[in-house]
Structure 1
Amino acid sequence: MNKPANISAEPKVNSPARRDFLRMSAFTGGGLVLAYLGAGDSALAQISKPAALPSSTDFVPHALIRIGSDGTVTLVSKQPEIGQGIKTSLPMVIAEELEVNWKDVRIIQGDLNPAYGSQGAGGSTSTPTNYNEFHRLGATARTMLVSAAAQTWNVPASECHAADSAVHHAASQRKLTYAALAAKAATLPVPDAKDVKLKDPAQFKLLGTRIGGVDNPAIVTGKPLFGIDVKLPGMLYAVYEKCPVFGGKVLSANLEHIKAQPGVKDAFVIEGTDNLRGLMPGVAIIAETTWAAFSARKLLEVKWDEGKGANASWADFTAQAKKLATQPGTTSLRKDGDVAAALGKAARTVEAAYSYPFISHASMEPQNCTAAYNTQDSSLEIWAPTQLPESGQALVADVLAMPKEKIKLHITRSGGGFGRRLSSDFIVEAAAIAKRVNAPVKLTWSREDDMRHDHFRAGGFHFLRGGLDDKGKLTAWHNHFVSFGNKVMRDGKSQLQAGSGASLSGDEFPGRWLENCLLEQTLMESHIPMGPWRAPGSNVFAWVFHSFIDELAHAAGRDPMEFRLDILGDKEIMPGTGERGQPYHVGRMRRVLQEVALKADWGKKKFPRGQGQGIAFHFSHRGYIAEVAEVTVSKQGELKVDRVVVVTDIGSQIVNLSGAEHQVQGSVLDGISTLMYPELDIQRGRVVQGNFNEYPLLRIKDSYTKIEAHFLKTDFPVTGLGEPAFPPLAPAVCNAIFAATGKRVRQLPLTHTDLSWS
């Protein structure tokens, strides 16, 4: 597709040199081994010799591909699958270039292996990290197969082409399958990068089509796939009781009474570490069944040293934030122009305070991990639903003082992640327990464990002021952000560090667009563990900023979409500033905003009272997304989201159209759910809510929103979609609520706002 007007492509990523990407590294039978360089790696990944092949005719590019003598193509998915569809979409990239029939493809999950390069899944990074390299790998293997066929027939390779898992010679109408060519291909040198031609995207047959998830049949039939499904011979079952106050330690426990319970094999105290995201102190109970372990836990009596966090409460945090808002921020994130003077000269000023609570990830599969310690060689084997297996291995090695090489980690499918499984606390708990038990041990968290010992999305408070001139143009913006942090040691000194999602970049829209902008931050110590939550930071910042921008637009008497276009301006790229700054392509955002307005008939419909449209956009995790929501609010205040139109720009290619649509639809529904229901109250240092009866989420019967997903193709690198479509949903809906009722939503969740009208 031609590059749209006013949009400049990002710099092209140079293809890795032949010696840095692929090389002949080992032969076994007739199998060919190619080393794989993961994106971002500075040197060639060290590849060990593969296990013996089942047949000397197999074609085995070591890290990712095996073509069997029966024609089956086995592709390894190296990234963790957490529901984002990467186990299907990334192998599609290799299959496209390899010219194999998808029905011949079998996908297997790769375990943690340094040969694969980076194996994390988070931040919508899996696709952009691997996309170009996977194309190159598939194309290189295809080139070698074509060369093998050409040499077999004694014809020029240029007269041959690959298609449908075979190489064809049109002139003689001959064909050789890949299975028949593997042994010959294994004897050929790896071609130079200049001799490997990638397919023209216009010729893609697989990419951009709808392909069902490779695990779907197993999921709907209940086959074991997830961490919680792991079962090993002789396995025992564990639960782990931690202090209800974060950071608390065990003083004493009735261990002998617990050991005497039916089915219980052992019970012991683990001292843990002082790190809120490391190994928390607690009491482990080991039993013959999960039921026996859970039953004994009900009889457990622990005396705790609750520590410094015992007095924390959400009510106190809220009062503290309001007081801090009257004082200058402790950190200046951006200071351009003279905001005070600009606000003083403004024809109109608008002030508002927005707040949101701590919330849990609440993945359907609670945290769990299976571990087996081998006393003979002091090694550890782990099965975990993790998003960051390398960090899990590193944490276990650090806490248990073990060499990483002695820790083997199997990656299972995760029943939801949303950032929670980027943390490895549940992994190190299982490992520490297994080291004390002479058997494989499965640790299973209860739902209450999962909710009360999460690494939470940080709560926050934003105190905003905006100034407008006499023409309705935004001239000043002030945001005092009060959020949460915890003490860490740096250079021998204790410092307050912002929690994940509690750190605001000075580059956030509309900061760098305005001559007069003051962004400042104040942190409150929380003693509460915080971690990445789907679209960290963006998931709440988009709601705050685009809700307040909507307030300013209406105060100015201007159309909210045109008001946003005016702020964006017509500059092609806004450069990033600061350590975390990144360029912002204004042309891309303008286009998705204009396109969503077109698709949703923005401003063309006349809605009766109680119905309305709202609009928002956000740049998140390299994706440019705009959304329009249409809602109905009854006089009694009952909200129904009728329709959401989403336009995305995530680059030049949608890999799996089915998967992309599902990610957008899932983001919208997750966004509606998060807007409407979840919040955690904190009293006496404890999370009050423990299960879904106290922490409701959107139910199937309520998820009847019409969702329209539109994808723009642009000449930019391909990026991910797990995060970007989530942030604009909440402000789009809240702005639609205002259009329908005249009521502003400034506190999450929606249950705090009376939406009734007359």
Structure 2
Amino acid sequence: MADGSMPSASRRDVLAGAGLVISFSVAGKGEAAPAGGKLNAYVRVGADDTVTIVAKNPEIGQGIKTMLPMLIAEELDVDWSAVRTQQADNDPVAYGRQFAGGSMATPLHWDELRRVGAAARVMLVAAAAQGWGVPAGECTTASGVVHHKASGRKATYGSLAAKAATAPVPDLKTVPLKDPKDYKIIGQPKRQVDTAAIVTGKPLFGIDVTLPGMLFATFEKAPVFGAKVASADVAAAKGVRGVKDAFVVEGGESLDGLLPGVAVVATSWWAARKGRDKLAVKWADHPTGKQSSAGFDARAVELSTKAPGKTERNDGDVAAALAGAAKTVEAAYAYPFISHANLEPQNCTAHFKDGKLEIWAPTQNPEPGRQLVAKTLGIAPEAITIHLIRCGGGFGRRLSNDYMVEAAWIARQAGAPVKLLWTREDDMRHDYYRPAGWHFLKGGVNASGEIVGWHDHFVSLGENGTFARSAGMSPNEFPARFLANYRYDSSMIPCGVPTGPLRAPGSNAIAFVVQSFIDELAHAAGADPVAFRLKLLGDKPMVGEGGAGYAAGRMAAVVKLAAEKSGWGRKLPKGGGMGIAFHYSHLGYFAEVVEVAVAASGAVKLVKVWVAADIGRHVINPLGALNQIEGSVLDGLSAALHQKITIENGAAVESNFGDYPLMRIGEAPPIETHFIKSDNSPTGLGEPALPPVLPALCNAIFAATGKRIRRLPIDTELLKTA
């Protein structure tokens, strides 16, 4: 499962009615769960031939509730039209780790869930063969029916369900899998199973949860992250019609847990909101209350002139190589904090009764949420039930569960079911932001147009030699290992702003810096940016070994494909430009070309984007794959053009879409995607398409204007020519 272990098919559920439930425990390194433990039921076959398949991971819009059941259905050999999906609750004993993040659903479940489907098929075949008195090897399956060709007999899965429930459960490691040429579901475009409900407005999301007798809550926290409540007029809040209670929550100091604040509970959310307006909260001073984006910028520049805090990697002799270079380039790059800006603000519903807690949470990472709630409330994790509710966007924000522990705490005090709903302003000003960062670079090329030295002094957020969450950069980050002389130093700035993963963590900023600077060096060398990159990748198919290996050949192939499909090198109208970039992240190899037209006013029109991708030998759901790639590209473009969180006096300034705009439909360019089917295991798609588009856009702007973008978001005022 999530730890890579292979579950054994060692348990099965009891027949319920006339349906067959196929269950496989993943407890204890693939061994059976102890007697009485809850089992991992993935497949249920009804007497009416419908097949219900459980989707184990949280659905955050990435299509996992469709894709994972497709793997099972393919090997079960049923028609997709007969399949119904069901969202699992959080159950680590039955399902192992359940999470949405890192684009890991495909690599972790490609083999395992296909084997789950194959094992169910084996049991159904065994039931038919036993009933007919024939060898199971003489039977075949198709579209939910077992056939015995020699005798002409056939039986539907539904008719075999009761018998199959008594069949021996096969070992998942030994069940036969289909030849890929026989796939009927994998590789075929399938709409998300929830699409019809979404477009017709049916309740699916956390914000839609309702329970009998449910109350509504708001929770006000300090603008400065973690500041305590000095005073609050809870009596005034309680005087608002509909308000049932208002109280101070002392909270703790960890930015990942329950922070201090004031809760208001009412019969409607609007009443709770109006009660909150009466609180007149005064906040205690906090040590980070004087921090600011301007201060971080100034400190980064100061640190860049000093000896680094640490040398993370030092290959060759960079100083000598740069001293002997034909040309050198120095550049300072920076990127800001940005917010996840989920369209659905954070929310959670909780009910505490008789010492037990039930939670309905749109979370990407439920089990850490359970542990956080248990620790904070002082109850056993086993006393907590978490229902996984579809998220209205995640992008990494819902890997943190602060809203879950807030709802749990408030519900326990309220003594009734409570839905906590954040305002948009709460959501944007109390995020775990993509961290800001600063890179001070120097590179050199020789007379042959090759990079001979690269030095990056990376100033990031962190303390005592430890990067803040999602603020680091790997010592192996490209072009490390591809250059004989490469040095990466780091210095850190202490920061009271909470940070965390945002779609393609780290890569979403690092690619902008690295691929933009490569472009600078290409132009310094007088080289074509595509040819320069291919020369840098070289002729070695793989650089490094094992999990740390970088498949240079796969990357070169997508670079060539992106250039070919975009018509790289063609003449463009005045103000037009094309830029290319590539990046490897989340096991995916991506190259992207952006074409822009820049007006004299500085306005940037996105003409088109071409994407070339290598995610292995199979694209499980082509429709879902395109959705993920196009969404990632638009996310990246939106961040590059618009998004910035500014810190002043220790707090976030931006609070809503008026001062933190997202890309609108009219700005969105057409996106053309091409896949290379390489002989590698399939990988995920939620994130790796995002990083290359930012530098490709900035490189295109340079090609159009001659002006280099080194700071995000793009300031179009700098692009004006009239």
TM-score (structure 1 length as normaliser): 0.92
Using the alignment, how far apart are the partners of 2:255 and 2:173 within structure 1?
51
Aligned match of 1:532: 501
Contact 1:745–1:753 (8 Å) recurs in 2: no
Contact 1:236–1:442 (8 Å) recurs in 2: yes
Q: Does 1:107 align with 2:85?
A: yes
Structure 1 range deviating more: 419-428 or 707-716? 707-716
**Pairing partner for 1:78 from 38, 56, 68:** 56
Aligned match of 1:66: 44
**Closer/same/farther in 2, CA of residues 158 and 140 from structure 1, 3 Å limit:** same
**Pairing partner for 2:617 from 652, 655, 661:** 652
Contact 1:595–1:647 (8 Å) recurs in 2: yes
Using the alignment, how far apart are the partners of 1:512 and 1:284 within structure 2?
53
Q: Does 1:137 align with 2:116?
A: yes
Aligned length: 718
* Aligned-partner residue type, residue 563 of structure 2: A
Contact 1:128–1:717 (8 Å) recurs in 2: yes
Query: Which whole-Å deviations, capped at 9, do the CAs of 1:638-681 have from their partners, x for residues lacking one?
Result: 11111111111111211101000111111111111111001111
Q: Does 1:467 align with 2:444?
A: yes
Contact 1:23–1:34 (8 Å) recurs in 2: no
Shift of 1:173: 2.7
**Pairing partner for 2:633 from 640, 643, 668:** 668
Contact 1:747–1:753 (8 Å) recurs in 2: no
* Aligned-partner residue type, residue 644 of structure 1: V
Shift of 1:34: 4.6
What are the residue-to-residue correspondences of 1:5-44 with 2, within 5 Å? 16=6, 20-28=7-15, 34-36=22-24, 42-44=29-31
* Aligned-partner residue type, residue 720 of structure 2: S
Question: Could you say what secondary structure the match of 2:288 adopts?
Answer: helix
**Closer/same/farther in 2, CA of residues 167 and 643 from structure 1, 3 Å limit:** same
What are the residue-to-residue correspondences of 1:574-653 with 2, within 5 Å? 574-575=543-544, 582-603=548-569, 605-653=570-618
Using the alignment, how far apart are the partners of 1:42 and 1:155 within structure 2?
36
Using the alignment, how far apart are the partners of 2:274 and 2:638 within structure 1?
33
Contact 1:321–1:482 (8 Å) recurs in 2: yes
* Aligned-partner residue type, residue 244 of structure 1: P
What are the residue-to-residue correspondences of 1:187-202 with 2, within 5 Å? 187-192=166-171, 196-202=175-181
Aligned match of 1:754: 718
Shift of 1:597: 1.4
**Pairing partner for 1:733 from 684, 692, 697:** 697
**Closer/same/farther in 2, CA of residues 50 and 42 from structure 1, 3 Å limit:** closer
Shift of 1:14: 10
Question: Could you say what secondary structure the match of 2:115 adopts?
Answer: helix
Query: Which whole-Å deviations, capped at 9, do the CAs of 1:122-162 have from their partners, x for residues lacking one?
Result: 01011111111001110111111112112222222222211
Using the alignment, how far apart are the partners of 1:193 and 1:440 within structure 2?
42
**Closer/same/farther in 2, CA of residues 14 and 265 from structure 1, 3 Å limit:** closer
What are the residue-to-residue correspondences of 1:384-403 with 2, within 5 Å? 384-403=361-380
* Aligned-partner residue type, residue 420 of structure 2: L
Aligned match of 2:517: 548
Shift of 1:231: 0.5
* Aligned-partner residue type, residue 592 of structure 1: V
Shift of 1:32: 5.5
Using the alignment, how far apart are the partners of 1:410 and 1:253 within structure 2?
34
Aligned match of 2:528: 559
Using the alignment, how far apart are the partners of 2:5 and 2:369 within structure 1?
31
**Pairing partner for 1:345 from 303, 324, 333:** 324
Q: Does 1:218 align with 2:182?
A: no
**Closer/same/farther in 2, CA of residues 337 and 113 from structure 1, 3 Å limit:** same
* Aligned-partner residue type, residue 108 of structure 1: Q
Shift of 1:171: 2.8
Question: Could you say what secondary structure the match of 1:544 adopts?
Answer: helix
What are the residue-to-residue correspondences of 1:243-322 with 2, within 5 Å? 243-322=222-301
**Closer/same/farther in 2, CA of residues 254 and 184 from structure 1, 3 Å limit:** same
Question: Could you say what secondary structure the match of 1:87 adopts?
Answer: helix
- Calculate percent identity across the aligned residue pairs: 53
Aligned match of 1:9: none
**Pairing partner for 2:454 from 477, 486, 503:** 477
Contact 1:247–1:309 (8 Å) recurs in 2: no
Shift of 1:301: 1.1
* Aligned-partner residue type, residue 658 of structure 1: L
Using the alignment, how far apart are the partners of 1:362 and 1:41 within structure 2?
38
Q: Does 1:715 align with 2:679?
A: yes
Aligned match of 1:682: 647
**Closer/same/farther in 2, CA of residues 48 and 742 from structure 1, 3 Å limit:** farther
Contact 2:11–2:25 (8 Å) recurs in 1: no
Question: Could you say what secondary structure the match of 1:750 adopts?
Answer: coil
Contact 1:500–1:536 (8 Å) recurs in 2: no
Using the alignment, how far apart are the partners of 1:757 and 1:169 within structure 2?
76
Contact 2:334–2:711 (8 Å) recurs in 1: yes
Shift of 1:614: 0.8
Contact 1:333–1:504 (8 Å) recurs in 2: no
Using the alignment, how far apart are the partners of 1:744 and 1:238 within structure 2?
48
Query: Which whole-Å deviations, capped at 9, do the CAs of 1:151-204 have from their partners, x for residues lacking one?
Result: 222222222211111111223332200011112212221234575210001110
**Closer/same/farther in 2, CA of residues 419 and 193 from structure 1, 3 Å limit:** closer
Question: Could you say what secondary structure the match of 1:280 adopts?
Answer: coil
Using the alignment, how far apart are the partners of 2:425 and 2:539 within structure 1?
51
**Closer/same/farther in 2, CA of residues 41 and 554 from structure 1, 3 Å limit:** farther
Question: Could you say what secondary structure the match of 1:129 adopts?
Answer: helix
Shift of 1:41: 6.5
Contact 1:32–1:62 (8 Å) recurs in 2: no
Question: Could you say what secondary structure the match of 1:207 adopts?
Answer: coil
Using the alignment, how far apart are the partners of 1:260 and 1:509 within structure 2?
60
TM-score (structure 2 length as normaliser): 0.97
**Closer/same/farther in 2, CA of residues 447 and 721 from structure 1, 3 Å limit:** same
Using the alignment, how far apart are the partners of 1:496 and 1:273 within structure 2?
25
Shift of 1:551: 0.5
Q: Does 1:744 align with 2:708?
A: yes
Contact 2:21–2:45 (8 Å) recurs in 1: no
**Closer/same/farther in 2, CA of residues 194 and 413 from structure 1, 3 Å limit:** closer
Shift of 1:336: 0.8
Using the alignment, how far apart are the partners of 1:526 and 1:752 within structure 2?
29
Shift of 1:574: 1.6
Question: Could you say what secondary structure the match of 2:294 adopts?
Answer: helix
Using the alignment, how far apart are the partners of 1:170 and 1:294 within structure 2?
68
Aligned match of 1:521: 490
Using the alignment, how far apart are the partners of 2:530 and 2:598 within structure 1?
22
Shift of 1:45: 5.4
Using the alignment, how far apart are the partners of 1:193 and 1:243 within structure 2?
52
Shift of 1:564: 0.9
Using the alignment, how far apart are the partners of 2:615 and 2:329 within structure 1?
34
Query: Which whole-Å deviations, capped at 9, do the CAs of 1:9-52 have from their partners, x for residues lacking one?
Result: xxxx9994xxx5102344345766654355x962425277699x
Using the alignment, how far apart are the partners of 1:695 and 1:24 within structure 2?
52
Shift of 1:600: 1.5
Shift of 1:305: 1.1
**Closer/same/farther in 2, CA of residues 98 and 591 from structure 1, 3 Å limit:** same
Contact 2:617–2:678 (8 Å) recurs in 1: yes
Query: Which whole-Å deviations, capped at 9, do the CAs of 1:243-295 have from their partners, x for residues lacking one?
Result: 11012001211111111111111111111111011111000111110000111
Using the alignment, how far apart are the partners of 1:193 and 1:223 within structure 2?
38
Structure 1 range deviating more: 155-164 or 221-230? 155-164
Question: Could you say what secondary structure the match of 2:141 adopts?
Answer: strand
Using the alignment, how far apart are the partners of 2:168 and 2:271 within structure 1?
59
